Amino acid sequence: MKTIQRSLACLCLLAILNACASVAPGNDPVLVNAQRTARTAHTSFDFLFKIERDNDALVRQNIPAVHTAVNELRRKAPKAEADLWGAIETYRTNRTADNKANLNTYLAVIQNLLDVAASYTQQIQTKAKAKGH
């Protein structure tokens, strides 16, 4: 459990630093923040997938819906990440209003998945703590 708490603390710190980081003069804040979000998403998904696997028996037995949902997220997240990186590259090479709107759409998809991942992470951690894991 201490490893999970340390990992969560590091992940929270990463998210805070990411959100608070400034954009260097001359850089496009839309592009920089999209890249930061993509990197944070990857780290967040990996963290969820690891704690779910590390607590596999507990999750399957006590919160089976979370187990099923995390497996679904394992299928969705890589495509969503790839789509976001594709939209980032498209916007980076051609900064039109349409490409910016498309990038914002993919950012919204990733944000939705991050919100879901955060909920599952919390549920697993709460159950693991209650069970003394």
Q: What is the DSSP string of 34-53?
A: HHHHHHHHHHHHHHHHHHHH
**What is d(CA 117, CA 111) in angstroms, rounded to the nearest whole number?**
10
Domain ranges of the chain: 2-130
Residue-wise pLDDT for 72-90, tens only, equals 999 999 999 999 999 999 9
Ramachandran class of 22: left when φ > 0, alpha when ψ lies in -120 to 50, beta otherwise: beta
Does this model's pTM top 0.75? My answer is yes
Q: Given this model, what pLDDT does residue 25 score?
A: 64
In this predicted structure, the answer to whether residue 96 has a pLDDT above a threshold of 60 is yes
Look at residues 64, 44, 31, 60 and name the one whose alpha carbon lies nearest to residue 113: 44
With a cut of 60, say whether residue 2 has pLDDT above it. Answer: no
Q: Is 25 left (phi over 0), alpha (psi -120 to 50) or beta?
A: beta
Q: Which residues have C-beta within 8 Å of that of residue 130, sequence separation ≥ 6? A: none
Tokens 């209003």 locate to 97
Tell me the CATH class for 2-130.
mainly alpha
pLDDT digits (tens, 9 = 90+) for 50-63: 999 999 999 999 99
Q: In which band, very low, low, confident or very high, does the pLDDT at 17 lie, cut at 50, 70 and 90?
A: very low
In the predicted structure, residue 95 carries a pLDDT above the cut 80:
yes
Note the pLDDT of residue 22.
76
